[in-house]
Amino acid sequence: MYNFTFHRPTTVRQAAGLLGRNPEAKLLAGGHSLIPVMKQRLAQPSALIDLSKVEGMVGVELKGRSVTIGAMTRHADVANSTVLKEVMPGLAMVPGSIGDPQVRNRGTIGGSIANNDPNADYPAACLGLGATIITNKRRIVADDFFTGMFSTTLEDGEIIVKISFPIAKKAAYEKFKHPASGFALVGVFASKRGSDIRVAVTGAGSNGVFRVKSFEEALKKRFSPKSLEGLSIPATGMNADIHASPEYRAHLVGVLARRAVAKAVG
Amino acid sequence: MPAVSMTVNGKAVSGNVEERTLLVQFLREQLRLTGTHVGCDTSQCGACVIHVDGIAAKSCTLLALQCEGASITTIEGLAEPGGALHPMQEAFREHHGLQCGYCTPGMIMSALDIVRRNGNDLDEHTIREQLDGNICRCTGYHNIVKAIAAGAKNMPKVGAQQAAE
Amino acid sequence: MSATGIGAAVRRKEDFRFVTGKGQYTDDVVRPGETRAVFVRSPHAHAKIKSIDVSAAKKMPGVIDVLTGADLATDKIGNLICGWMIHSKDGTPMKMSAHPALAAGKVNCVGDAVAVVIAESIAQGKEAAEKVKVDYDVLQAVIDPAKAQAKGAPQIHADIPNNTIYQWHLGDPKATAAAFAAAKHVTKLDIVNNRLVPNAMEPRAALAEYDEGSDHLTLWSTSQNPHVARLVISAFVGITPEHKLRVIAPDVGGGFGSKIFIYPEEVVCLWASRKVKRPVKWTSDRSEAFLTDAHGRDHVTHAELALDADGKILALRAKTIANLGAYMSTFSSSVPTYLYATLLSGQYNIPSIYCEVDAVYTNTAPVDAYRGAGRPEAAFVVERLMEVTARQMAIDPADLRKRNFITAFPHQTPVIMAYDAGDFHASLKKALELADVKGFGKRKREAARHGKLRGLGYSAYIEACGIAPSQAVGSLGAGVGLWESAEVRVNPTGSVEVLTGCHAHGQGHETTFAQLVSERLGIPFDNVSIVHGDTDKVQFGMGTYGSRSGAVGMSAIVKALDKIEAKAKKVAAYVLEAAEGDIEFKDGKFTVAGTDKSAAWGDVALNAYIAHKFVGADLEPGLKETSFYDPTNFTFPAGCHICEVEVDIDTGKTDIVNWTAIDDFGTVINPMIVEGQVHGGIAQGVGQALLEGAVYSKEGQLVTGSMMDYTMPRAHDLPSFHVGLTTTKSPSNPLGIKGCGEAGAIAAPAAVINAITDAIGTEDLAMPATANAVWSALQRAKPRQVA
């Protein structure tokens, strides 16, 4: 690892100030994406700004018809949130599938979303529920937030503070784990909130998380796995690597979408 | 070099570290607690698992400075000062849950975290799923699974609420 | 059977230190003034080094020295070697390239070391390593062993045409061809035995310390065989004479073969420590381990089996291309030859066998022995052929095996090995029962109702262990003898230390060896210590691999104990004032036949040392004996594994739902430890079959270069195993031991692939059978299934 300076602000304002003063700085949330990359000497931030002591960034809260999760809330705490499991167990499934137990004990929702790894799970949940990402500067809807692999609309000096998920009565996540890394080889989040039906896919697309409009249309007639029978998506634009062919990933999108819908209605 | 202070196995410790010093380096190189091992560089293998404030974490993916003020438990902190093994350590020995011993400290620390989260009565499926973050190349896991189930039973009862959290 | 003697499931002596974090692995050892070595490695698979500029690196903070291959040559440090000579069928010797510890003018695989930075810390070393400027002229690489010999393929070593190391063969080509010509049925298979990365959980490490006062070097090393390391490093690499080098292999965190070999890093650390006059330590990152540990397997094989109309085997032939990587690792040449083709008879009466093996260089990491070493490749060929034949001839696969089992021993196969004991019907029968094969049809129908395809696969494997009779292996090209040594030291208080040339890195020798001594001498288990892994303590030994420690290492202890008993009886005769011929020894007590006179073990031990009851002219004081035991034959562990799988039709994912292993290991010293060895072996075999596979890009980059991309078996990938034993004792060693360390890894891959192909109804499936691979096989097979 290259060396850096280390900062531990206690307010979002301080953190933003540090970011402003250190253009090459990076925010440190759970660190479970950033530190491994730094260990490989593939990232060389001049400073790390540890958000773990910043007030008001942790917790799962029910607010009217939405659930708000603080950006520094760890995966294990979201997965085990009594509130969340009651109002939207489908969302709690997502952090419960990330990495391994030790990673879930440290990794955070904000870190995952800001990093937007194309194989990460939370981006599918954000897009699959129409979440709103709330930063120190503005509110960004998920459909605008994720802009490609490891790429978001976050600007310099912008810090994710919390994420607001509208509560969908029917929602579920199905994931086919990459056998080595535990990331999503393909993950599908499906939800129905009134007439808003969403099917979001992570892991499969060469440009990161995406929605499957054809599936969503089919589900509008009836939110049932039967509505997706025989439907598939084309292999073009799917990731191709040693772990899975584009055809296999496209096929899994169909399989997992049906399973997610079945789980959501079941 | 910045200073760092924490509690390790019940003892207050402090030292000066480079910012980039990982917790596992601080434990192994400065405190000479070499029971915590490094088996990979991608946060996969779990040989380095320790507890931070009672919760399992991979010490290869934490900066020492992130643990300022924290209470750390390593494998060296489990047995009683007189040498009596912790029930989970004893179970690994009794059930031959180790061969070369390299992954063992991380396995035991992770096993304790499984009990914390899931209680004392663990079925095989739960143990296997919850060992996702620990790799063993020797045992085929068969006896590790047996050891964890037995060790969990022999540990003080974990409250239902605590286990659910 | 005593509570701690032979056959008892004694809990391990080793475990207290391991479960409390008090093990001492190489990286845990710290020497005063220690420096760290950081290697500059080639990012290219094949390139000429035009120049290396270390001047900027040398000026970096904390840097003590930066050394290159040119410095190595100046100091006349020799090459690493392969210690087993193989001759091609035309009689020419194998073509071994130069293998300097730091590249000399050319790199031949990604990760090849070109320079080393010696620095105060790893961080400083890494920073300086980035400043070493290497100017490469990148060459085209060849990765695929099947293409390495092609005309126009990149030439890796200038003096070795067609990248061909040897073209070897074994067996009778004419008789085999005649048998095939007369066959009613011929089964043909194309097999790729996938390349594996050993991934012992402790990465390799080396710590070298030079003592200027005595001109003596000490190396702490993650070695399975410290004496062989010392011999090679001194006699061949020429670092220092053998008597001025001490090699210590302390606790070693798994080996699986990968820590047998002598690697560039320990040579460089030794050399550098003498140059900088400070201890030099190198500990591999996992990423470095992926690139530089010797890999395993990597065979491309075409195999055929000829049978008559009744399903009796007439002949087997195989043609294999073995990829040995960029350089010949220490024992690499023996793996695809004498450890492979000699096992192609399996458990069966096969009148004729012919096998040809071409070994080739490619621009990949060296390949050498990995758990099983050649024998898994052989078992996979034989057991896949058997299963496919059974399907093609519509014979029950268990029945086909029964029709062809060898039943009379000794049995001379057409491929060197003479099996001396076994009962293959017994292990198959027991496996069929334990696996409830009768109930399989019902389980298959039940699975189908849930969208799952269920399959059953057998693997009736045999292996040759107890490596090995020295004269026999010498005649086959081995550069060393493969006996083992033991020194038994009885202390004046009667406690015993056994110094063994074997080395434990997970096998539990401290326990099993002590069980033998405890039983034989009738002394408490806790009064026995096993000493290993230090060339200053143990005089010589060949180390641990090839499931040899029980059969060979413990036999040496038995022989030394025989001598101890004989000497102790002489002492007892003086103590008891009786004739030596009247002294009997049983349960730790010496008695005089026909009297009630007795002396305890401890009394005799003490008298051996105080020497008050006899004079030196009659008897030497002391009680210490040494034995070098050379086995009379290999041993032949064998058994039958049955794997039952369920394949998810939608995703292609395979779940192993049941595993039955019935093994014949001869005498078992500690059943708990033996079962553990079986479990671990199966896990590695399942890993090969389902999950693991090293993949290089065509440019020679290791795509599976970390545990993020190379799938290590995890707890949830495996079931609990049902294991059992049948027993025929090995007649080739005094204890009747056959060995158990590799059986699982040898048996498992064929069992898994036989089960999956049974489930999915097509043989068109390569390892690793990932979900994607199985799904694709199902897609390819679809039209046939419809038809």
- Could you read off the pLDDT of C140-181 as tens digits, one per residue? 999 999 999 999 999 999 999 999 999 999 999 999 999 999
pLDDT for position A145: 97
Q: Are C598 and C589 in contact (CB under 8 A)?
A: yes
Nearest Cα residue in chain A from C778: A248
Encode C37-71: b = buried (16+ Cβ within 10 Å), e = exposed. bbbbbbebbbbebeebebeebeebebbbbbbbbeb
Per-residue pLDDT at B162: 55
Q: CA-to-CA distance for B66 and B68, rounded, in angstroms?
A: 6
Closest residue by Cα to residue B59 from B81, B77, B76, B41? B41
Q: B44–A35: do the CB atoms touch at under 8 Å?
A: no
DSSP class of residue C251? Answer: B
Q: What is the mean pLDDT of chain C?
A: 97
Using alpha carbons, select from A149, A150, A198 the residue that is nearest to residue A172: A198
Tokens of C88: 């091609």
3-state secondary structure of C736: coil
The counts of H helices and E strands in chain A are 11, 14
Distance from the C349 Cα atom to the nearest Cα atom in chain A, whole angstroms = 41
> Looking at the partner chain, which of C14, C252, C714 has a beta carbon nearest the beta carbon of B135?
C714
Q: A244 vs C772: CB contact, 8 Å cut-off?
A: yes
Find chain A residues with C-beta within 8 A of C650's C-beta.
255
d(CA C188, CA C298): 20
Asked if residue C410 has a cis previous peptide bond (ω within 30° of 0), the answer is: yes
C-alpha Rg value of chain B to the nearest Å: 16
- The identity of residue C397, as a single letter, is P
Cβ of C32 under 8 Å from any chain B Cβ? no
Query: Mutate which of C772, C779, C780 to disrupt the A interface (most A C-beta within 10 Å)?
Result: C772
Instruction: Work out the pLDDT band at C743, boundaries 50, 70, 90.
Output: very high
Per the structure block, which two tokens stand in for B74?
């390593």
Residue C346 near residue C381, CB atoms below 8 Å: no
Could you tell me if C148 and C364 are in contact, meaning their C-beta atoms sit under 8 angstroms apart? no
Which site among A231, A239, A255 would you substitute to test the C interface, given the most C Cβ atoms closer than 10 Å to its Cβ?
A255
Tell me which residue of C728, C719, C669, C762 sits closest to C12, measured CA to CA.
C669
Is the CB of residue C711 less than 8 Å away from at least one CB of chain A?
A: yes
Name the residue type at position C577.
E
Burial class for C640, CB neighbours closer than 10 Å (0-12, 13-18, 19+): buried
Q: Do A101 and B58 touch (CB under 8 A)?
A: no
Q: Structure tokens of C747?
A: 């048996």
Distances in Å between the Cα of C23 and the Cα atoms of B47, B83, C250 are 13, 15, 9
Nearest to C201 among B41, B45, B131 (CB): B45
For the domain covering B87-164, report its CATH number.
1.10.150.120
Q: How far apart are CA C42 and CA C109, in angstroms?
A: 7
What length does chain A have? 266
**pLDDT over 70 at C62, yes or no:** yes
Residues paired with residue C452 on neighbouring β-strands, in sequence order: C648
Q: Tell me how far CA of residue C539 lies from CA of C249, C266, C469, C532, in angstroms.
A: 14, 21, 20, 10
The overall longest dimension of chain B from CA atoms, in Å, is 47
Residue C509 to residue C503: CA distance in whole angstroms: 8
Res C751: pLDDT: 98
Q: Which two tokens stand for residue A232?
A: 């598939």
Percent of chain C with pLDDT over 90: 98
* Listed residue (C363, C427, C479, C487) closest to C661, CA to CA: C427
pLDDT tens, position by position, B48-102 = 999 999 999 999 999 999 999 999 999 999 999 888 999 999 999 999 999 999 9
Asked if residue C279 has a cis previous peptide bond (ω within 30° of 0), the answer is: no
Tokens of C343: 């096992």
Q: Is C770 on the interface with A (CB under 8 A)?
A: yes
User: Assign residue C329 a region: left if phi > 0, alpha if psi is -120 to 50, beta otherwise?
Assistant: beta
Q: Which residues of B touch A179 (CB under 8 A)?
A: none
Asked if the domains B3-76 and B87-164 are classified in one and the same CATH topology, the answer is no
CB A26 within 8 A of CB A48: yes
pLDDT tier at C624 (50, 70, 90 boundaries)? very high
> Which residues 603-642 in chain C show a CB within 8 A of chain B?
none
> Nearest-CA neighbor of C14 among C672, C624, C505?
C505
Residues A265, A172: Cα–Cα separation, whole Å: 9
Mean pLDDT computed over C255-272: 98
> B108, B89 in Cβ contact below 8 A?
yes
**Is A248 near chain C, with CB under 8 Å?**
yes
Task: For residues A240 and C751, give the distance between their C-alpha atoms in angstroms, rounded to a whole number.
Answer: 30
Under 8 Å CB pairs connecting chains A and B tally to 81
Q: Which residues contact C317 (CB under 8 A, 6 or more apart)?
A: C171, C176, C180, C303, C304, C353, C354, C355
The CATH 3.30.43.10 domain(s) of chain A lie at 1-53
Residue C486 at interface with chain B, using a CB cutoff of 8 Å: no
* Tens-place pLDDT, residues C304-363: 999 999 999 999 999 999 999 999 999 999 999 999 999 999 999 999 999 999 999 999
| pLDDT score of C786 | 42
Is B2 within 8 Å of A36 when comparing Cβ atoms? Answer: no
Cβ atoms of C531 and C525 closer than 8 Å:
no
Q: For residues B70 and B7, is the Cβ–Cβ distance under 8 A?
A: yes
Q: C496 near C512, Cβ under 8 Å?
A: no
With a CB cutoff of 8 Å and minimum separation 6, the contacts of B83 are: none
**Domain range list for chain B:** 3-76, 87-164
Contact B20 A3 (CB under 8 A): yes
Report DSSP state, residue A5.
E
What would the 3-class secondary structure string for chain B be? Answer: CCEEEEEECCEEEEEECCCCCEHHHHHHHHCCCCCCCCCCCCCCCCCCEEEECCEEEEHHHCEHHHHCCCEEECHHHCCCCCCCCCHHHHHHHHCCCCCCCCCHHHHHHHHHHHHHHHCCCCCHHHHHHHCCCCCCCCCCCHHHHHHHHHHHHHCCCCCHHHHHC
Structure confidence at residue B81 (pLDDT): 87
| Contacts with B144 from chain C: Cβ below 8 Å | 715
Q: Which residues of B touch A (CB under 8 A)?
A: 2, 18-20, 22, 41-44, 46, 49, 55-58, 60-63, 65-66, 68, 110, 113-114, 117, 130, 132-134, 164-165
Torsion, Cα C102 C106 C112 C116, to 10 degrees, reads 40
The tokens 């022989």 sit on which residue? Answer: C559
Calculate the average pLDDT of chain A: 96
User: Tokens 């849930």 — which residue?
Assistant: C450
* Distance between CA atoms of residues A92 and A104, nearest Å: 12
Mean pLDDT for A28-57 is 96
Closest CA to C312 of C279, C363, C349: C349
The CATH number, out of the four listed (2.40.50.140, 3.40.50.720, 3.30.43.10, 3.30.750.200), of the domain defined by the range A1-53: 3.30.43.10
Environment class of A3 (CB within 10 Å of its CB; exposed 0-12, middle 13-18, buried 19+): middle
Q: How large a percentage of chain C has pLDDT more than 70?
A: 99
What is the location of CATH 3.30.390.50 in chain A? 171-265
* Residue labelled with tokens 């991608």: B42
Q: What is the DSSP string of C159-192?
A: TSGGGEEEEEEEE-HHHHHHHHHT-SEEEEEEEE
| Confidence at B158, pLDDT banded by 50, 70, 90 | confident
Task: Using only the alpha carbons of chain C, give its radius of gyration.
Answer: 27
The pLDDT score that the predictor gives to residue C783 is 63
**C775 and chain A in contact, CB less than 8 A:** yes
Decide if pLDDT at B160 tops 60. Answer: no
Q: Is residue C115 classed as helix, strand or coil in its secondary structure?
A: strand
> pLDDT tens, C110-148?
999 999 999 999 999 999 999 999 999 999 999 999 999
**Do strands C299-307 and C313-323 pair parallel, antiparallel, or not at all (unpaired)?**
antiparallel
Q: Residue C65 corresponds to which tokens in the numbers above?
A: 């020295």
pLDDT band at A266 (very low <50, low <70, confident <90, very high): confident
Q: Which of C16, C19, C655 to mutate to test the interface with B (most CBs of B within 10 A)?
A: C19
| Structure token pair of residue C77 | 């440090």
Within chain A, residue ranges assigned H as helices are: 12-21, 34-39, 75-79, 82-87, 89-96, 101-106, 109-115, 122-129, 142-145, 213-221, 246-265
Distance CA B102, CA B35 (A): 9
Query: What are the structural domains, with CATH classification, of chain C?
Result: 31-137+202-253+259-292 (3.90.1170.50), 156-192+297-407 (3.30.365.10), 420-465+635-787 (3.30.365.10), 483-629 (3.30.365.10)
Cβ-in-10-Å burial (0-12, 13-18, 19+) of C310 comes to exposed
Residues C490 and C623: beta-carbon distance below 8 Å: yes
CATH superfamily of A171-265: CO dehydrogenase flavoprotein, C-terminal domain (3.30.390.50)
C718 vs B contacts (CB less than 8 Å): 128, 140-142
Q: Which of C672, C642, C81 is nearest to C329 (CA)?
A: C81
Interchain CB contacts (distance < 8 Å): A and C: 44
- How does pLDDT run across C712-730, given as a tens digit for each residue? 999 999 999 999 999 999 9
Q: What is the pLDDT of residues C444-467, one digit of tens each?
A: 999 999 999 999 999 999 999 999
Structure ipTM? 0.97
Highest CATH level, class, for B3-76: alpha beta
SS3 at position C740: coil
